[in-house]
Structure 1
């Protein structure tokens, strides 16, 4: 085997792919006022929205 072939010394090392579970956190917005993670909520009419549990900021989902 030549240097640079395979996964041994001098070979290429590929970074591991992130788990799909990690991507879920990327779909959750941060509050623009206090920068904490917002929580999904539902109105009495069944409409979805994001609510900050710290400052009370609300955003349409």
Structure 2
């Protein structure tokens, strides 16, 4: 199994991320590290206050920046 670099983001980080054509801001509330599944990337659960919901399994590549 190919090893991935360490995750770029951590719990409670405030981040800006892409979902479809939207750019949202939220807080990472859970991490879903690839080493615990068959995926080849890290993903995150991100809570977006303005929408009152969480976006799950957001790939690390869709996170634009840590705020």
TM-score by shorter chain over 0.5: no
TM-score (norm 1): 0.29
**Structure with the largest fraction of strand:** 2
